[in-house]
Amino acid sequence: MRPVTVYPRGEGAIASARGLVKVYGSGETAVRALDGVDVDFANGELTAIMGPSGSGKSTLMHCMAGLDTVTSGTVVVDGEDVARLGQRGLTRLRRERLGFVFQAFNLIPTLTAEENITLPLDIARRPVDRDWFDTVVDAVGLRDRLDHRPGELSGGQQQRVACARALVSRPAVVFADEPTGNLDSRSSSEVLGFLRHSVDVLGQAVVMVTHDPTAASYAHRVLFLADGRLVGEIVDPTPESVLDALREIGAGRRAPEPALAGAAPALVGGVAGGLR
């Protein structure tokens, strides 16, 4: 694990945050979910965000995606300052430039798979690019399931429909929140394989929050969060390297003594170097 790479002006990043702080509640019960996060998400990259429960990984994604308001700091997605957008602007941002895949309940039960996939375009009243639609549908392998309702699809198929929906409007970034959290390992690998494929072949930027090291290993880069701060990253991860890094963070949190904390950068550098 190495220190997180941040470019001064976020060069080449499709989404970036600077000094991102998110505080829930106020007074004595206030919780700093994000405590000064600087981060860049590169175009054409699958980035995973990991960290223990309560580390703020979901909050980071929600703030990046304009689903949650930020307390201070800036968030820029595809050139748009998210923190300064109103409800209307945020709705348009989500509709036109973002794609979402959630852990569960991704599909409208009354619509067919095809209708679910084209939903963002329908909402935006944009025409469906049939070639792109076919490309995406073939990529998720759902050609023969398009007329089915979500209730008639397996969990993995439902998540693949959700992925297709996220991609069909050619968003700037796709945010995936624990996309495999409810899936068995086979379905998980199908979905993750597809997400990686969408990045490698279709050139999509994808940000994925996960707590599963195997899922994270599909990413180009894994960011680690602890106590609302980014503590490091791994490029080209494997399940083992991710596990090691997580263990390390766990140890660091259990014993946050000054001496150890001071030694941490060297340690992190060592692990990261070992992975290379």
The binding site for other proteins (CB under 8 A) comprises: 62, 67-68, 87-88, 91-92, 94-96, 98-100, 102, 105-111, 115, 119-120, 122-125, 165
Residue 184: CB minimum distance to other proteins, A: 13
Residue 4: CB minimum distance to other proteins, A: 25
If the CB atoms of residues 120 and 228 are measured against other proteins, the closer one turns out to be 120
If the CB atoms of residues 99 and 237 are measured against other proteins, the closer one turns out to be 99
If the CB atoms of residues 159 and 241 are measured against other proteins, the closer one turns out to be 159
Let me know how many helices (H) and strands (E) the chain has, helices first.
9, 10
Sequence letter at residue 93 = L
If the CB atoms of residues 88 and 276 are measured against other proteins, the closer one turns out to be 88
Do 232 and 268 form a contact (C-beta atoms < 8 A)? yes
> Percent helix, strand, coil in the chain (nearest 5)?
45, 25, 35
Query: What's the number of CA atoms in the CB half-sphere (13 Å) around residue 246?
Result: 21
CA of 15: how far to CAs of 39, 48, 68, 82, 164, in Å?
A: 8, 14, 15, 10, 21
Residue 111: CB minimum distance to other proteins, A: 6
If the CB atoms of residues 96 and 129 are measured against other proteins, the closer one turns out to be 96
- The helix/strand/coil state of 86 is coil
If the CB atoms of residues 102 and 238 are measured against other proteins, the closer one turns out to be 102
Q: Give per-residue burial for 180-198: e unless 16+ CB within 10 Å, then b.
A: bbbbeeebbbbbbebbbbb
- Nearest-5° Cα angle at 142, 139 to 148: 155
Helix 113-123 / helix 155-168 crossing angle, nearest 10 deg: 30
Residue 236 tokens, joined = 């080209």
Do 229 and 35 form a contact (C-beta atoms < 8 A)? yes
The candidate with the shortest Cα–Cα distance to 215, out of 74, 101, 135, 59, is 101
Residue 38: CB minimum distance to other proteins, A: 23
Residue 116: CB minimum distance to other proteins, A: 9
If the CB atoms of residues 121 and 268 are measured against other proteins, the closer one turns out to be 121
